[in-house]
Amino acid sequence: MDLAFREFVGDNICAIDLTPMPGIDDLLQPTESIKEAQELAAEAWGADHSFFLINGSTSGNQCMMMTAVNPGDKIAVPRNSHKSMLGGLVMSGAEPVYMQPEVDEELRMDHCVTPETVARTLQQHPDVTAVYLVSPTYYGVAADLASIETLAHGAGKLLLVDEAWGPHFHFHPSLPLSATRAGADLCINSTHKMLSAFSQCAMLHEKGGRVRLDRLASVLKMFLSTSPNLPMIASLDVARKQMATEGEALLSRTIDLARETRARLNDIPGIYCFGEELRGRKGVFALDPTKITVTVRGLGYTGYEASEILRRRHNIQVELADLFNVVALFTIGTTRDAAERLVHAFSEMARDDRDLDMFAPSGILEQRLRRGNFRLPAVPPMRMRPREAFLAATEFVKFRESAGRICAETLTPYPPGIPVIAPGEEITGEIVDYLRLELKAGVRIQGPYHDDLRLVRVVKE
Ligand SMILES: Cc1ncc(COP(=O)(O)O)c(C=O)c1O
């Protein structure tokens, strides 16, 4: 290894970067320390079995789908799932039955799917094999998992939960109910997001014995590297130890700091950080207090601009920015000093002399919102499964002339972060008009190959 790099990262990390061998164990066929570490993780998270992942919850979503559904099976999925869910659909060949999450028109963001939506979906599509949920959302809003578990299992369906943002839930009574406690058959946690494992580290938990373990084991063998990085695996074990032994105390400190900071931010004119008052709104069953969504439109900044200012002027990197908000994560590693800097940064921003034109009644954003254009266009007809569209021959055509074509990419405006169209769906005139207006208003569209969406990838005719 390059000596300067080795000096920088330290000898120990290199000393434990070993290949699978007896005494060290093999992630794909664990019989020794990794087996024990995974058993301890299952005990800590209340699962029957836990598996370490080294390619994030992205691979977790792919593995869940590949385990639970077969080509042609139907699976109920929220429309606002992370893109790795679509990867799972492409790989498994399953057919999505989309569930619309609740859109909060005041905060202009998406919340969770409600039990009512799941019940309706199961009634309209009794042939789905599984219900897949995302909880919590990017903004820290959690779904009513217990009610949805009763509905899914009552109807004989599997319940899969993308709990990428909630690996800490299981370890503190003031946090939302964890997916394992709610009885999900499979769930995933990005242990690297809210806990202390290295980047890319995640876990997949199984509970209840409804999924085939032999299938899951084969899927993991297919998806995980045969050369897993041992420091990453060790960091997963240590993150588990930290939570199992001092999780509640560490999280209590984090929750207190986040609550105090949220209150201080809310005292700054022009700023709003939602909190417990949101509970009970449609799609908001519970809230993760460690995520602070700062709505900055009252300052005359977009979330993107605020995020840039925080980074450049204050050396603060936020987790997410959208048109109206930035999201700050408070984790067990967040210091009081960092919280102070965040409050100071927003206080300064509030003193900036901004003209509020963009959000003024004549501004394009307000016009768009008042005209009700924030309402998402109808979900377009699915003409092909995501897998078929992904694998089909494709071409680029002008977006404004693309109505009637089958889309081969996902187009997701932020906010609210819900795909307007997914691979295999027909581009409608309504969608073309909606997205062109969004682009004009400065909204970022995620997913297309061409960011400016002048061209869109469609299935060749
Ligand atoms: C809801 C959700 N699921 C899955 C993922 C993918 O997680 P990872 O980055 O650990 O691969 C993300 C990433 O942000 C996410 O937000």
Mutate to test the pocket of ligand 1, among 55, 57, 134 (most ligand atoms within 8 A of CB): 57
Q: Does the Cβ of 322 fall within 6 Å of ligand 1?
A: no
pLDDT of residue 235: 97
What separation in Å is there between the alpha carbon of 85 and the centre of ligand 1? 9
pLDDT of residue 368: 57
Rounded mean pLDDT, 226-251: 96
pLDDT of residue 211: 97
Q: Does the Cβ of 409 fall within 6 Å of ligand 1?
A: no
Rounded mean pLDDT, 108-133: 96
Rounded mean pLDDT, 309-320: 93
- For 127-177, the pLDDT digits (tens) are 999 999 999 999 999 999 999 999 999 999 999 999 999 999 999 999 999
Contact by Cβ (8 Å): 227, 24? no
Contact by Cβ (8 Å): 439, 452? yes
Q: How far apart are CA 344 and CA 338, in angstroms?
A: 10
Among 113-122, 251-260, 373-382, the minimum mean pLDDT is found in 373-382
- For 380-437, the pLDDT digits (tens) are 999 999 999 999 999 999 999 999 999 999 999 876 678 899 999 999 999 999 898 8
Q: Does the Cβ of 58 fall within 6 Å of ligand 1?
A: yes
Protein residue whose Cα sits closest to atom 10 of ligand 1:
56
Q: How far apart are CA 170 and CA 176, in angstroms?
A: 8
Q: Name the nearest CA neighbour of 78 among 105, 45, 48, 103.
A: 103
pLDDT of residue 360: 56
Across the chain, mean pLDDT equals 92
What separation in Å is there between the alpha carbon of 133 and the centre of ligand 1? 13
Q: What are phi and psi for residue 145, nearest 5 degrees?
A: -65, -35
What separation in Å is there between the alpha carbon of 185 and the centre of ligand 1? 19
pLDDT of residue 413: 84
pLDDT of residue 364: 57
- For 330-374, the pLDDT digits (tens) are 999 999 999 999 999 999 999 877 655 555 555 556 655 555 455
Rounded percentage of the chain residues whose pLDDT exceeds 70: 95
